[in-house]
A and B are shown apart, each in its own frame.
Chain A
Amino acid sequence: MSAPALVLRGTAKRFGPTPALGGVDLEVGAREFLVVLGPTGAGKTTLLRTIAGLETPDSGAIELFGRDAAALAPAERDVALVFQNFSLYPGKSVRANLEFPLRAPGRRLPEGEIAERVAWAAKLLHIERLLERSARALSGGEMQRVAIGRAIVRRPKLFLMDEPLTNLDAKLREELRVELRELARELQTPVVWVTHDQAEALTMGDRIAVLVAGKVLQSGTPEEVYRRPVSPLVARQLGTPPMNAIPARREGGDWVALDGTHLLAAHGAAQNATIGVRPEHVELSGGKSEATVEVVEDLGPARVLVLRWAGTEVHALAPRGESARPGDRVRPRIAAVHAVVWT
């Protein structure tokens, strides 16, 4: 197994009295696509800027490809940052924008190689027809393709992506998610991609690191973090609708909700817990108590039912053929094998 591209050990950063990163430990493999998922203010951008050398950590270590990054100036780190606000030169053509990083002082690339790299990036990103167009005349999606092109022409050793799809409309975001994941696979260059969008995290990452208030709360494959979140806080970051979190107490050999509704069999010694269950693991029959269907949302391939059950609001995801309507009574059952018990 090859050495990691990036290692952070206890990386901490404060801005005055405000802690931005509270001792972050992270590792990114040589060809890995790591998504850092977190809400606004979690420290995502500070994390990227610290890796890029634009911020100096107060403590902790950063290693890039086995070298202590503290000794490396930003330009020596060979990383490329892509921002959410496109950051192009509006008065220049697409070609000139792509050429710009290759003409930076100190690079001294031959003209032939500049042309070859621009053509390569334009082809990969499907922007060949835009090369002579002014950056000012591009759509949002085209601008972000060019911004990514400016990063890849340099052929850096690591990509740092700061919510690059945030300013695009939902349909375009969905298209680019797939294209950029395929592009990353083709380039075989490690990526650290930060986002607040759970769909990007689930669909794009080889691994996800959930960052909240400057701390990594959990990291793992998308499946691991989605299915076995370590806390309700992590669970809430992933999944739409989010994981149900039902406060419970022990009654004999069972977990029951605070209103006494039976939830599932209990194991272990804890007397109080929160039961986490994804909406797709709430079955609509076979349970011991009744619930009322309050809302039915049709998502096309599936339906979301909002139930009043166990003294709280519970979401269930049902196949598109589900015929329950608001006001109907159902008997929910939690698929115990998929439930998470937080004590």
Chain B
Amino acid sequence: MLDAFHGACRYLHADAACGRVVARVGAEHSSAAGEEARFAVEAAGLRLFDPASGRRIA
């Protein structure tokens, strides 16, 4: 986990089973290097892309 403070927010760079995940969280939410975290994804913000064509499906 890499905790990158940006002032008004933080970006957490985490290695997950699916690969590198980057999450934007509140500035007060600090995490130590090596700490484990659980992420939930806002379904409304998901975009699906066809791996073959790269075109957006949904």
Q: Report which A residues bind B (CB closer than 8 A).
A: 177-178, 181-182, 185, 199, 202-204, 222-223, 226, 238-240, 278-280, 301-302, 317
Interface residues of A, dominant DSSP: helix
Check if A222 sits within 8 Å of B5, measured CB to CB.
yes
In the complex the two chains form, what is the Cα distance from A227 to B32 in whole Å? 20
Q: Residue A178 contacts which of B4, B5, B24 (CB distance < 8 angstroms)?
A: B4
Shortest Cβ distance from residue B15 to the other chain A in the assembled complex, whole angstroms: 10
Q: Which of B7, B13, B33 contacts A226 (CB 8 A)?
A: B7
Chain B residues with Cβ below 8 Å from A238 are: 7
C-alpha gap A138/B54 in the complex (Å)? 27
B residues less than 8 Å from A226 (CB atoms):
5, 7
- Residues of B at under 8 Å CB distance from A? 2, 4-9, 11, 13, 24, 27, 30, 33
Besides A178-B13, A278-B7, A301-B24, 7 other A-B contacts (C-beta < 8 A): A177-B4, A178-B4, A223-B5, A239-B7, A301-B9, A302-B8, A302-B9
Q: Tally of A-B residue pairs with Cβ under 8 A? A: 39
- Chain A positions within 8 Å of B30 at CB level: 223
Query: Is the Cβ of B8 less than 8 Å from the Cβ of A280?
Result: yes
- CB contacts (< 8 Å) of A222 on chain B: these are 5
Q: Are A199 and B8 in contact (CB under 8 A)?
A: no
Q: Which residue of A lies closest to B11 (CB)?
A: A203
Q: Once the chains bind, are B2 and A279 in contact (CB under 8 Å)?
A: no
Count chain A CB atoms within 10 A of each CB in B4, B7, B9 and give the residue with the most.
B7
Query: How far is B4's CA from A222's CA once the two chains are assembled, in angstroms?
Result: 10
Whether the pair B6, A199 counts as a contact (CB closer than 8 A) is yes
**How far apart are A69's CB and chain B's nearest CB, in angstroms?**
30
Q: List 23 A-B contacts (CB under 8 A).
A: A178-B4, A178-B13, A181-B4, A182-B2, A185-B33, A202-B4, A202-B5, A202-B6, A203-B6, A203-B11, A204-B4, A223-B5, A223-B27, A226-B5, A238-B7, A239-B7, A278-B7, A278-B8, A279-B8, A280-B27, A301-B9, A301-B24, A302-B8
Question: Within 8 Å CB of B33, what residues of A?
Answer: 185
CA A231 – CA B5 in complex, angstroms? 21
Q: Which residue of A lies closest to B26 (CB)?
A: A280
CB nearest neighbor in A for B30: A223
Minimal beta-carbon separation of A338 from chain B (angstroms): 10
A202 and B7 contact, CB distance less than 8 A = yes
Shortest beta-carbon distance from A203 to chain B in Å: 4
Which A-chain residue is minimally distant from B10 (CB atoms)?
Answer: A203
Q: Is the CB of A317 within 8 A of B8?
A: yes
Give the chain B neighbours of A278 by CB distance below 8 A.
Answer: 7-8
Return chain A residues, CB-CB under 8 Å to B2: 178, 181-182
CB distance from A21 to the nearest CB of B (A): 28
